[in-house]
Amino acid sequence: MSSRDKILSQIKQNKPEEVALPQVTRFVSHFESTEDKFREMLALIYTEVIVVKNLEELAQKAGELYKGVVNRATTIPALSAWADFSLNVSDPHELETVEIAILQAEFGVAENGAVWISDQYLPHRVLPFITQNLAFVIPRNALVNNMHEAYVRLQDTQGWGCFIAGPSKTADIEQSLVIGAHGARSMVIFLLEGE
Amino acid sequence: MSKTVMEHADASEVFNRDEPYVNWHDETLWFVRQKRDKSSKQLPEWEQLREAASGIKHYVLSHMDELLVSFEQKAKENGVQVHWAANAAEHNEIVLGLLKKHKIDRMVKSKSMLTEECHMNEFLQKNGIEVIDTDLGERIVQLRNEPPSHIVLPAIHLKKKDIGDLFHAHLGTEAGATDPQYLTEAARQHLRDKFLTRRAALTGVNFAIAETGGFVVSTNEGNADMGAHLADIHIACMGFEKIIPKQEHLGVFLRLLARSATGQPITTYSSHFKKPRAGQEMHIIIVDNGRSTQLGRKDFRNSLKCIRCGACMNTCPVYRRSGGHSYHNAVAGPIGSILAPNLDMTKNADLPFASTLCGSCSNVCPVKIDIHDQLYKWRQVLAKEGYVPKSKEIGIRAMSTVLAAPRFYQWSGRLGRTVMRAMPFMVNNGLNPWYKQRDMPEPPKESFRDWYVRNRKN
């Protein structure tokens, strides 16, 4: 018998009597303002939130914020003039020198400040991790209250997707928080007003 | 990697020799426990979330085979290759086989307690494969040639000076440097080079979803993603109990996991893998290694609900004062002490006794495992099957003789109190295990029974 069949048959023999799934597995979060909660959580995880009225203002803010930074990459067509690093590479290792990536993402979660990004928005999965600094652009109205709502919105994941909450961090040395472990050293979220 | 194995009590005694160090260890973990409290109290539905998580996991235990088959089928449809390993040796061989097939002799690995359980690193090293642990805490203990002392905080037993010295020796940082920012930056540079040059990446699995064939890996550092998205081959290893029925159930588990572990509302990265990227190979190894046996133990099967948050360790008065290494098992603390005897009763018979049975572990467990009840029940099983050490057995037998005879009990109590008063040196010495790192209490003048008999007459 293969290990697969052996494992499955032993499980079948040993598993407990059948029980049903619990009826309630989704909960509602009540926040006075979803956006305020989102901002509050992001402030706690060292992430700046900037509201921009339109793509022109986004380009202007990006220019100010990352002035003097070279190797700027983006997935947002309106920022193509701002970028100086082409994402049109075949090997993701070539992204190793990206200093700042401004990326379109789908939506944010108020209870924890996480933002969902997936294959749908990315030419390379490693990009939000390998870049030294990271910024997401999401529509200002694309915010949900909690993770239950997030998964309702996210009916299926793409080939790969990720909730990212703030810059990368570690506290493995005597519980001292250090920002910038292996991933991004800084994080900015642009909330783009409806067009 | 493993040094001479000491029993928990003996290892704790060594750990307790340095009192300021033990106090520091105790307080550091208690601080993490407090962060968990603060975070959990911000959710009015916290208790309902725990109940839901426990219920979902109970469903999982009772439908395990069907869920695994569904997961396998979906994963295959997604282009992922699925392997099954009955035990640690088979798991390790599968990993080695995959690496050999691709002629790879160097691999990066993010946190996976399963590979610790299987002693995979040692096995691969013996077979000429270099494995670099990429979680900062894990890299630290790997450089020290030690196992992690905590499942979430692998290097929690070390002071920054230890790490400064270690990095000076291995990574060339300045001698005497202890600034965490500086040391972390050095590790970042050191590990970035590994990410960029290794063709294989191994990760653990936090949750595997039967409905979609996808799996989720949570990290704060981003090391799992850095490894997996740059490598030609991604191997994800999971104990079969990691399965959950539906994607929407992640809502429950991801809300509980980080809050229970470190007090964060969510880890920085919750990465949802489903299909390999173009040109990449993705493999999942589903491991039993004693889990199907544990599933058949009515009193202990709930231990398979564990989502590895570490909350039971942070709260445990014994763990905090004895350190993770004294448990001589990949998973330490209360949860480790109910998992380990299933793996090997002879080697791990001491662990269910490494508890005060105070119940704090069960109170903080996000999936409501009855941890302290199981610790108590393991003691019964181990004693019945003859795994309890002789010294403990003699003590227990003496105790039961005394407790079974009321007059003898009264007499012994009186004798004890008199001795403690008249000749304190008889108990305040190294031969009395209760005197180790403790002062004996003032003996009361009379027992409650004597007091009661005297006062009832009035």
CB contact under 8 A, B251 and A151: yes
Q: Do A174 and B214 touch (CB under 8 A)?
A: no
Here the ipTM equals: 0.98
- Among partner residues A13, A165, A176, which is closest to B180 by beta-carbon distance? A176
Considering only the beta carbons, identify the residue of B265, B277, B296 that sits closest to A41: B265
Nearest to B153 by CA among B235, B328, B30: B30
Q: Please, which residues have CB within 8 angstroms of residue A23's CB and are 6 or more apart in sequence?
A: none
* Chain A residues lying within 8 Å of B55, measured CB to CB: 19, 21-22, 25
Q: What string of H, E and C letters represents the secondary structure of B359-405?
A: CHHHHHCCCCCCHHHHHHHHHHHHHHCCCCCHHHHHHHHHHHHHHHC
Contact B184 A180 (CB under 8 A): yes
Positive or negative, the CA dihedral A86, A88, A92, A94 is negative
Residue B374, min C-alpha distance to chain A (Å):
17
Taking the CA of residue B421 and the nearest CA in chain A, the distance in Å comes to 44
Chain A: nearest CA to B288, how far in angstroms? 7
DSSP notation for A59-90? HHHHHHHTTT--SEEES-GGGTTT--S----S
Contact A173 B245 (CB under 8 A): no
Q: What is the pLDDT of residue B119?
A: 97
**Of B160, B180, B274, Cβ closest to residue A157:** B274
Task: Give the C-alpha separation, B250 to B205, whole Å.
Answer: 13
Contact A173 B64 (CB under 8 A): no
d(CA B449, CA B458): 15
User: Which chain A residues in 165-194 lie under 8 Å from chain B, judged by CB atoms?
Assistant: 165-176, 178, 180-184
Which residues, in sequence order, are CB contacts of A145 under 8 Å at separation 6+? A28, A29, A30, A31, A34, A37, A109, A110, A111
- From the list A2, A129, A171, which residue is nearest B226 (CB)? A129
From B188, B248, B272, residue closest to A160, measured CB to CB: B272
Contact B255 A111 (CB under 8 A): yes
Taking only the tens of pLDDT, chain B with its 458 residues reads 444 689 999 999 999 999 999 999 999 999 999 999 999 999 999 999 999 999 999 999 999 999 999 999 999 999 999 999 999 999 999 999 999 999 999 999 999 999 999 999 999 999 999 999 999 999 999 999 999 999 999 999 999 999 999 999 999 999 999 999 999 999 999 999 999 999 999 999 999 999 999 999 999 999 999 999 999 999 999 999 999 999 999 999 999 999 999 999 999 999 999 999 999 999 999 999 999 999 999 999 999 999 999 999 999 999 999 999 999 999 999 999 999 999 999 999 999 999 999 999 999 999 999 999 999 999 999 999 998 877 777 877 888 888 888 888 888 888 888 888 888 777 777 777 777 777 778 888 888 888 898 888 76
- Asked if A129 reaches chain B (Cβ–Cβ under 8 Å), the answer is yes
Q: What is the pLDDT of residue B3?
A: 47
What's the CA gap between B268 and B158, in Å, rounded?
24
Rounded Cα gap, residues B280 and B257, in angstroms: 30
- Hey, are the CB atoms on B181 and A178 less than 8 Å from each other? yes
pLDDT of chain A, 195 residues: tens digit per residue: 899 999 999 999 999 999 999 999 999 999 999 999 999 999 999 999 999 999 999 999 999 999 999 999 999 999 999 999 999 999 999 999 999 999 999 999 999 999 999 999 999 999 999 999 999 999 999 999 999 999 999 987 789 999 999 999 999 999 999 999 999 999 999 999 986
Torsion of CA A94, A97, A100, A102, to 10 degrees: 0
Looking at the complex, report in whole angstroms how far the Cα of residue A173 sits from the nearest Cα belonging to chain B: 6
Query: In the 8-state DSSP scheme, what is residue B265?
Result: S
- 8 Å CB contact between A180 and B186: no
Interface A:B, Cβ pairs < 8 A: 245
A1 part of contact set with chain B, CB < 8 Å: no
For residue A187, list chain B residues with Cβ-Cβ distance below 8 A. Answer: none
| Residues of B whose CB is below 8 A from A166 | 268
Give me the pLDDT at residue B421, please.
81
Residue type, B255: R
* pLDDT value at residue B112: 97
d(CA B170, CA B173): 8
Among A residues 89-108, those touching chain B with beta carbons less than 8 Å apart = 92-93, 96
Cβ of B180 within 8 Å of Cβ of A159? The answer is no
Terminal Cα distance for chain B, rounded: 67
The distance of B419 to chain A (nearest Cα, Å) reads 45
pLDDT recorded at residue B403: 84
Amino acid of residue B79? G
Q: Which residue in chain B has the smallest CA separation from A110? A: B265
